[in-house]
Structure 1
């Protein structure tokens, strides 16, 4: 049996790729619609090219491959690889990595980053291919159906908490807040959001994004803290980003917004909540522990220099 690596074909491959991704990493939200959207709306500078690995016509592996176009550092590529747990050991992962590295080298990448589950087999696989370990991040899960959320509290004087849908007419203030908080996130690859039109196209319009469940703390008409929500349209809810503008930190506004969003999600019928944090982000890990989230998996970012 031979494994063949080829480019992802939308929309025909979307259902199978979503199935592989959910099986390999069930802590991240993905749908066939989101896969097609991300392929069609990727920034041109990202050179985004998802791959699939086929065995006898069955898709058993896949990878997100592209350039970190929003990083101020040149030559940063990424290849996040997923193989169905029941189809590992057949060479699909190695074949996808080789194809991804070849493509990224041609696109101008000088190094490749990849997330690897913090399990002996996964880490050994990455090390065999020449990748070295870097930062650690956690996936966290909260049982919305059974767990008790902290009660909603009255916002401080001068603060309102509203859904992001209130900014539908002009989301630019949310873009500016997202850009500021993302720039301060701990990580081994810096990111800078400067392209508002693309943010509208790729983030605000993303099929998983829920402006109704995203909560925003507002002061003097300006958003100063937020908790961005995504859902799979069924029972699973995820926090894509939670943050506060620098001038308003230390007041508990991110916690206020996230609590509001979690209550909205539970009232809407969602039963599971997921989020992720860099292991060095102690303040946000403490906030999530306060809500009752528990770590359900850990990843380690690995990197390999090309050439």
Structure 2
């Protein structure tokens, strides 16, 4: 029997199929970082069942089976946010032993049925020189940005610089206090001018309503450090604990608003955040490879570069041709 391409409803998928997806994903992850600690299957399940940190819906799948076993998959994520209504995030993964047989191409074409009319596909995963880069180029995708994955082993948190006159810090864990939620949203959306290459992914479409939805659906601890000046927002940084490995956390947005840059405030708020992370031993983050300033800040905090990966983009109409 040959390879069969078919849709998979993750919500009702059998445990064996969920584990099959996991095995394919882990084989791919090991290629990018051979010395990484293997992630538990529960971490993948939590990721696939929930919205991602940019508000995209839970993953939709088509899978490739050989003799019933999953040997590859394509996952697609779409967002209902107007700012990203044109875009689908798509990832295609095939076991190394099953590549160069047309399976990836078949999965990519089958994934178009999952996109609900989105006109642009981006994939945030290929590593330079890896099979995914060659696959993307062969199918007409172009590179639109590059990201650097970093890791911090958290032992003794660094000292926090003295806060300049006129500034104050507010910290919380969980839902944003009502009196600060609007400032929090404004701070998050100020990431719009951060360097992200030519991606059309909108990182800055948060609203009070969308934040409250995220908070209501949260399955992990989230810490926020908000920097205020004269009652208005000056900066913000956010970290989220990984729900299946509570000793790990992901550094999400860090933003200092333009009027307050050049004062070392990004380093200050990120340093302060590291004192909030009770029970966390390791923090991961991803930063645009073009954002030399934030990379320097992270290195000053003790982050080490792990690997780089790219975002590639294509029009769905071109893929249907």
TM range, smaller chain: 0.7 to 0.9
Q: Which structure 1 segments of 5+ residues have no match?
A: none
Aligned equivalent of 2:312: 302
Aligned equivalent of 2:235: 225
Aligned equivalent of 2:88: 77
Measured in 1, the distance between the counterparts of 2:141 and 2:153 equals 35
Shift of 1:200: 2.3
Structure 1 residues 16-47: Cα deviation after superposition (integer angstroms, max 9, x where no partner): 345654553478995423432329x997xx78
Give the RMSD, CA atoms, in angstroms. 3.5
Aligned equivalent of 1:36: 49
Q: Report if aligned partners of 2:60, 2:114 keep a CA contact under 8 Å in 1.
A: no
Measured in 1, the distance between the counterparts of 2:54 and 2:196 equals 24
Report whether the alignment pairs 1:274 with 2:284. yes
Q: Report if aligned partners of 2:62, 2:110 keep a CA contact under 8 Å in 1.
A: no
> Within 5 Å, which residues of 2 pair with 1:170-181?
170=179, 171-181=181-191
TM-score (norm 2): 0.76
> Within 5 Å, which residues of 2 pair with 1:257-272?
257-265=269-277, 268-272=278-282
Shift of 1:176: 1.8
Structure 1 residues 173-195: Cα deviation after superposition (integer angstroms, max 9, x where no partner): 21121112245443321524154
Q: Report if aligned partners of 2:144, 2:197 keep a CA contact under 8 Å in 1.
A: no
Q: Report if aligned partners of 1:181, 1:243 keep a CA contact under 8 Å in 2.
A: yes
Aligned equivalent of 2:211: 199
Aligned equivalent of 1:108: 117
- Structure 1 window deviating more from structure 2 (252-261 vs 127-136): it is 127-136
Q: Which structure 2 segments of 5+ residues have no match?
A: none
Aligned equivalent of 1:10: 11
Q: Report if aligned partners of 1:77, 1:111 keep a CA contact under 8 Å in 2.
A: yes
Q: Report if aligned partners of 2:195, 2:290 keep a CA contact under 8 Å in 1.
A: no
TM-score (norm 1): 0.79
Structure 1 residues 265-284: Cα deviation after superposition (integer angstroms, max 9, x where no partner): 2xx23222111111111111
- Structure 1 window deviating more from structure 2 (159-168 vs 81-90): it is 81-90
Q: Report if aligned partners of 1:52, 1:63 keep a CA contact under 8 Å in 2.
A: yes
Shift of 1:206: 5.0
Shift of 1:85: 5.7
1:199–1:61 CA distance, 2 compared to 1 (3 A):
farther
- Structure 1 window deviating more from structure 2 (14-23 vs 170-179): it is 14-23
Measured in 2, the distance between the counterparts of 1:241 and 1:206 equals 19
1:124–1:184 CA distance, 2 compared to 1 (3 A):
closer
Measured in 1, the distance between the counterparts of 2:93 and 2:207 equals 29
Measured in 1, the distance between the counterparts of 2:24 and 2:177 equals 34
Q: Report if aligned partners of 1:51, 1:96 keep a CA contact under 8 Å in 2.
A: no
Measured in 2, the distance between the counterparts of 1:200 and 1:86 equals 44
